[in-house]
Chain A
């Protein structure tokens, strides 16, 4: 059966046997695509923690090095590994609709960090959006 693999802007269609797991697919492409072990894996937009999950026909597996969330929006930030969290706003502020002087709580993998935190592979960063004033 065919499955798709998205990594750093490339879409690779690959043939796998029934029963192939996410882990097996990653191992198969570990060397040619240089996928780090810590990378974030997503199926249909949802992060998966269990790499033993079986692939199914036409499934798209997305691989991200890191990602950032603000409110309803989440974007991959593969190009920001090694940068500080404070720098995200300059590049992704518009896409995320982040306020210019962002003073929200910052979390990496659900733990609070400062703006000086250096982004690593596998980081899921969230600028925790304040709840709305009106209704």
Chain B
């Protein structure tokens, strides 16, 4: 199976759980896969509540070492940095498949804006609030949007009001409430399902909403105007 270089941005509750299943999948189904983990944060003892890691240290570095022990057929790399307006150009390049699991809209906005400038890229983004979650797949192929980008109907991404980790002090970066584990797993599950659907050419949606409290899931189909553009 041919696959692009994979970048995973945000190695927190979602990221640590996602890369475990991603590594397992790639190890047995994809030859020569390269997965780059990107995160400037540090694992703390309190992260054991909802994150999967072996020791304290930079999230990207520690998780890379953990994954190498388990999945020898996959090449894992790490970049211990927060994504910002400058380094995004260096770290996300044409042909990448990007998993995005950060805990702020500003970073999502920066990455989305950069992906819009690339000819070929796949961005699978996940997010959650308490018992609700959502995933988004933004596909660009040969310089055209195949699905809507993350700002479509979502002004909170077009004009984010929060701050990214690179704008905060180290103390501020630590202070976020832990995400609810069952919601994390539901979102990670759908990110993997969406990845598998993309590989199988079964993407007819760009967004999935999940509510773990009401056990409801709803996919949002790709708007007709994008399908027409694809057919042209």
How far apart are the CA atoms of A10 and B214 in the complex, in Å? 24
B157 part of interface (Cβ distance < 8 Å): yes
A105 part of interface (Cβ distance < 8 Å): yes
Q: Which of B79-87, B99-107, B192-200 contacts A (4 or more CB under 8 A)?
A: B99-107
A93 part of interface (Cβ distance < 8 Å): no
Q: Which residues of B contact A110 (CB under 8 A)?
A: 223
How many cross-chain pairs have Cβ atoms below 8 Å apart between A and B?
86
Over the window 98-125 of chain B, the binary record of Cβ atoms lying under 8 Å from chain A Cβ atoms (1 yes, 0 no) is 0001111100100000000000000001
SS class, residues of chain B in contact with chain A? mixed
Chain B residue nearest in CB terms to A129? B209
Task: Check if A72 sits within 8 Å of B211, measured CB to CB.
Answer: yes
- Given A133-B105, A134-B127, A135-B179, A105-B155 contact (CB < 8 Å): yes
Of B14, B136, B154, most buried by chain A (CB within 10 Å of CB) is B154
Query: Which of A72, A107, A135 is in CB contact (< 8 Å) with B209?
Result: A72
The number of chain B residues with a CB under 8 A from chain A is 42
Separation in Å of the B208 CB from the closest CB of chain A?
8
Q: Which residues of A contact B125 (CB under 8 A)?
A: 131
Separation in Å of the A106 CB from the closest CB of chain B?
11
Query: Which of A69, A73, A135 is in CB contact (< 8 Å) with B10?
Result: A135
Task: Check if A135 sits within 8 Å of B214, measured CB to CB.
Answer: no
Q: Which residues of A contact B154 (CB under 8 A)?
A: 105, 128, 130-131
25 contacts between A and B (CB under 8 A): A69-B218, A71-B211, A72-B216, A97-B132, A97-B211, A129-B134, A131-B125, A131-B127, A131-B150, A131-B154, A131-B156, A132-B134, A132-B187, A133-B129, A134-B13, A134-B14, A134-B127, A134-B128, A135-B12, A135-B14, A135-B101, A135-B103, A135-B126, A135-B128, A135-B179
The 4 closest A-B pairs by CB, nearest first: A132-B127, A135-B14, A72-B211, A72-B216
